[in-house]
Amino acid sequence: MANDRRNNQDYAGSIRRIILVVLVSILLLFFAIWRIDNPRIERLRADVIDTIIPHFEWVLRPATWAGRILENFQSYQALYQQNQELNRELQKMKSWKEAALQLEQENARLLDLNNLRQDPTLTHVSGIVIADSGSPFRQSVLLNVGAQDGIRDGWPAMDGLGLVGRISGVGQETSRVILLTDNASRIPVIIQPSGQRAFVSGDNSNAPIIDFR
């Protein structure tokens, strides 16, 4: 039994060696034929190529599809990155636009102040708004100047365009301004050129009411 198994293994090994030798010989023969520079051999090579290559199209199709998918993905990725870059540039442009508008408004106020003619007997103190009421029912702002700067309760508050409110509440370093638009604001005015007297009454809107009563 052991001898039969050994004989079978030797027989299988011999067959494998013979097949290997035959395959190597065929490959060497093809290589030698492929290297021969002869018109007949050239026609043979052309016939072999024409016969084999069309049958390999189905093998190349998945690779072609994979290449197209990869190319489309790379194009999509490039477009996505470009879109993200454009969005970032757009956000920067919006920020620059807002900054430009603020500078334009500030420049207009400064120009108005530059052309303003003041009575030398009047006292004025410049301050900066550091907070606002943040409420639709209360229209007031907080300034960074107070009693130590000479601010007095009831003084008018102005910006570069004109009157905006009056001082209502003074601390040592800060003061509060009730704006003309506040519901509690009521300022006596004179209508020019008629000279008629009236009151500007706030109603928490951007257009205070002129009351002639």
pLDDT at 3 over 70: no
pLDDT digits (tens, 9 = 90+) for 110-120: 766 665 555 66
CB 161 within 8 A of CB 130: no
Pinpoint the alpha helices (H) of the chain: 2-35, 39-52, 57-114
pLDDT at 134 over 60: yes
Q: What is the pLDDT of residue 199?
A: 87
Q: Identify the pLDDT of residue 21.
A: 83
- Ordered by where they begin, the domains of the chain are 129-211 (2.40.10.340)
Q: Cβ distance 179 to 158 under 8 Å?
A: no
pLDDT bin (cut points 50, 70, 90) of residue 10 is low
**Percent of the chain, pLDDT > 90?**
1
pLDDT category at 70 given cuts 50, 70, 90 is confident
Q: Give the pLDDT confidence of 77-99 residue by residue, as tens digits.
A: 888 888 888 888 888 888 888 88
Residue 203 in contact with residue 209, Cβ under 8 Å? yes
Q: ω into residue 193 within 30 of 0, thus cis?
A: yes
Q: What is the pLDDT of residues 46-57, one digit of tens each?
A: 666 666 655 556
Task: At 77, list the tokens.
Answer: 């990725």
